[in-house]
Amino acid sequence: MSEKFPASSIVLAKVKGYPAWPAMVLAESFLPDNIISKKPKHKTRDLQETTTSTSNVLPIKFFNDDTYFWMKIADLKPLSKDDIAIHFAQTSSKRKKDKVLEQAYELASNPLDMETFIKYGSSGEPPEIDEDVFEDNIEIKAPPRKKLKVVIPPRTKTKPVTVKKDPRKEALEKQKEEERKLMAEYDSDWGIDDFNKYDKSEGNYIYETKEKQQELFSTIPDSSEILEIYNDALDRYKTLEYEFLNNYLINEDEQLNYKLLQKNLKEFEKMVDEIPKSITNKSKILRLLILSQRKQPSEDKNVQQFHNNIEKILKKLGIEVRENTEEDFEIKSVDSTKLTTPEITSNPESTTSSTTGSVEPITDVKEERVE
């Protein structure tokens, strides 16, 4: 039990979202078992032991509500009779009063003893009934005992909060709604099929006569045909990518078939103009060609021809690849025994040597080639 709030203390308890409410601090030894079992517990670092009870909470019971609650000590405030008198003086000037809360303050001003409050609630012990005043055939029933429940105090009615709308946000939402309506008017073909219609009033004409116009547009496929051609080219490209990689990335003990690779390379060159450039730039074939181009070609004619064809395709795509040189494979090292630890002079801005020491440039550094 807390030293600040011993048992039977009258307090003002504040639950988030509800008004402060008069209550009594209770002793755990007098509580029912179902209330004790509701005491909060915190987890320890050991995952197997999680039954340690918290020590910063106290059991309380609200007046005129008779509900129990495990309240944090930080949310409790002492409630004296002077505080209750001040409360009644302040609420007397108000038009509307919370009758339930006012009655709770009245009970807190003259509280019952703790045991009676726990056992019978705010109404106290019921009066004894004299059985002699009743007839023998009348059955006397004891008043029903209130069930113990663990709930929070009733929430008082609050005025609805009106949120002011930001005019800039409303204007932005209105603009987005107009854009959605505008985009809904477009067809999936982006108006390509409508453009093929001869209409001078709309400007959809190239030739002065409708016959010449129709003769020209009869050679242009519609949107569905364009989509079919694109999907067909994309399927063929994926098949070519699989075959090319499978022919090039073979086991080390096998020899590359450059005639087959040359055939795949020609098919790739033809399909560059049929598919979007964004797909080509992200393809595995292009990565493979760049890596192959960086290798130094051997004296074999087939390899040199394959190397030249790759260079031709990459230039067509606007890509220039530099071949690896011997210097790219050299690992440069520094002889650590030749390095001296520099000493910091008293004047950091000085560039001349002094008696206290100076930073000397490192000149004796050897580059060694690691075989």
Model confidence pLDDT, tens digit, residues 133-150: 555 555 556 566 555 555
Give CA angle at 344 (339, 347), nearest 5°. Answer: 145
Q: Kindly report, residue by residue over 348-365, the tens digit of the pLDDT.
A: 444 444 444 444 444 444
**Higher confidence at residue 350 or residue 221?**
221
DSSP 264: H
Whole-prediction pTM:
0.36
Distance CA 319, CA 71 (A): 72
Q: Kindly report, residue by residue over 15-42, the tens digit of the pLDDT.
A: 888 889 999 999 999 999 999 888 887 6
**Higher confidence at residue 280 or residue 205?**
280
- Helices in the chain by DSSP H: which ranges? 33-36, 81-91, 99-109, 114-120, 167-184, 192-195, 210-217, 223-248, 258-271, 277-281, 284-294, 301-316
Question: 371 pLDDT exceeds 50?
Answer: no
Q: Name the band, by pLDDT with cuts 50, 70 and 90, for residue 43.
A: low
Among 21, 32, 110, residue whose Cα is nearest residue 63: 21
Among 313, 162, 182, 317, residue whose Cα is nearest residue 244: 313
Contact 146, 121 (CB under 8 A): yes
Helix axes 301-316, 258-271, angle to 10 degrees: 10
Q: What is the mean pLDDT of residues 301-322?
A: 85
What Cα–Cα distance (Å) separates residue 237 from each residue in 102, 244, 262, 310, 316? 82, 10, 16, 17, 18
Question: 264 pLDDT exceeds 80?
Answer: yes
Report domain extents, the chain: 10-41+53-127, 168-217, 223-325, 330-371
Distance CA 213, CA 167 (A): 51
Q: Report the half-sphere exposure of 31 (CA within 13 A, side-chain side).
A: 24
Q: Decide the pairing of beta strands 52-53 and 57-62.
A: unpaired
Q: Please tell me the predicted confidence (pLDDT) of residue 12.
A: 94
Q: Please tell me the predicted confidence (pLDDT) of residue 369.
A: 46
Q: Decide the pairing of beta strands 10-13 and 41-42.
A: unpaired
Q: Please tell me the predicted confidence (pLDDT) of residue 82.
A: 92
Q: Please tell me the predicted confidence (pLDDT) of residue 81.
A: 92
Q: Please tell me the predicted confidence (pLDDT) of residue 152.
A: 65
Q: What is the mean pLDDT of residues 270-289?
A: 83
**Higher confidence at residue 305 or residue 26?**
26
Q: What is the mean pLDDT of residues 158-179?
A: 78
Q: Please tell me the predicted confidence (pLDDT) of residue 107.
A: 93
Mean of the per-residue pLDDT values for the chain?
75
Contact 310, 293 (CB under 8 A): yes
Q: Name the band, by pLDDT with cuts 50, 70 and 90, for residue 346.
A: very low
Residue 141 in tokens = 């029933």
Q: Please tell me the predicted confidence (pLDDT) of residue 62.
A: 94
Question: 125 pLDDT exceeds 80?
Answer: yes
Residue 140 in tokens = 């006397």
Which CATH fold would you assign to the domain 10-41+53-127? SH3 type barrels. (2.30.30)
